[in-house]
């Protein structure tokens, strides 16, 4: 977790996602979407991938979604500006349905974007990236306070989790859903990722469990724009247009 005057390196190489192991009888108004898929040899580094609880390599999984919601197929390769509809289960028994649209990828720099933040030696060896997304709840589950479930894939084919901050990071926030995030709510989010050893951002990934064939987004890296004065502290506002021509290629690491 990054904090002013003292930076704690809370980058984690892996994030545990709870396994989804239940079989439910589906009534007429519900449909089941199976999310189990075998891991291929090209999967990201297992040490950095979401792991299912209990160490099961391929748990059977069923996630119940509301009638009429057609989930985006696993393994879909999308571009910035495309939306995916996904079932998200942050813990057993809490299942939400989200529409996630990755709207902008930005290659930042510590010199310009992290003014006033103390960085340790390991942080300075990384490359900061900002990922902006618009997320809407399609179901009735309240996912308030949960982190936006997106990773990046770096040049070593490893999954990296968003970096948490002890206080609001004005150039790029929020990385979590509002306290109340129920049916029909939308948030413009922005997540910060530190790619180790001056690493690259190859893709953005939705991969809730290790056995899930990830949905990915790719696109051009742009330069972060300074936040508007009236948007100070309001996260993604003013910086998440996928077809916005603002910003140069991100050669400013």
pLDDT exceeds cutoff 50 at 144: yes
Q: What is the mean pLDDT of residues 226-242?
A: 47
Domain presence at residue 231? no
236 pLDDT tier (thresholds 50, 70, 90): very low
| Two structure tokens written together for 160 | 């990296």
Report CA-CA distances (Å) from 173 to 37, 116, 227, 237.
32, 17, 11, 9
Domain presence at residue 252? no
pTM exceeding 0.75: no
Q: Reduced to 3 states, what is the DSSP secondary structure of residue 111?
A: helix
Domain presence at residue 242? no
Domain presence at residue 240? no
CATH code of residue 121: 2.60.40.1240
Domain presence at residue 145? yes
122 pLDDT tier (thresholds 50, 70, 90): confident
Domain presence at residue 250? no
pLDDT at position 176 is 93
Domain coverage including residue 118: 2-224
Domain presence at residue 241? no
Report CA-CA distances (Å) from 160 to 13, 87, 212.
6, 21, 16
pLDDT at position 253 is 40
Number of domains in the chain: 1
pLDDT exceeds cutoff 60 at 217: yes
* More confident: 26 or 157: 157
Domain presence at residue 130? yes
């Amino acid at each position: 977790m990054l904090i002013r005057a003292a930076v704690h390196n809370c980058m984690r190489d892996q994030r545990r996602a709870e396994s989804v192991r239940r079989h439910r009888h589906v009534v007429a108004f519900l449909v089941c979407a199976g999310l189990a898929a075998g891991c291929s040899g090209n999967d990201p580094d297992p040490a950095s991938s979401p792991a299912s609880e209990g160490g099961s390599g391929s748990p059977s999984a069923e996630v119940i979604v509301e009638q009429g919601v057609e989930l985006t197929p696993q393994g879909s390769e999308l571009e910035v500006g495309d939306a995916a509809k996904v079932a998200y289960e942050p813990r057993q028994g809490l299942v939400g349905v989200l529409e996630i649209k990755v709207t902008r990828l930005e290659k930042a720099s510590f010199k310009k974007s992290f003014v006033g933040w103390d960085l340790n030696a390991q942080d300075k060896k990384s490359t900061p990236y900002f990922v902006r997304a618009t997320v809407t709840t399609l179901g009735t589950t309240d996912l308030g306070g949960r982190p936006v479930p997106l990773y990046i894939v770096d040049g070593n084919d490893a999954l990296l989790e968003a970096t948490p901050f002890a206080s609001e990071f004005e150039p790029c926030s929020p990385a979590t859903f509002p306290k109340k995030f129920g049916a029909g709510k939308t948030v413009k989010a922005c997540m910060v990722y530190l790619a180790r050893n001056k690493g690259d951002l190859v893709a953005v990934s939705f991969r809730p469990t290790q056995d899930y064939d990830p949905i990915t987004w790719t696109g051009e890296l742009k330069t972060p724009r300074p936040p508007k004065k009236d948007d100070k502290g309001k996260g993604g506002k003013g910086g998440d247009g996928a077809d916005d021509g603002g910003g140069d290629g991100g050669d400013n690491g």
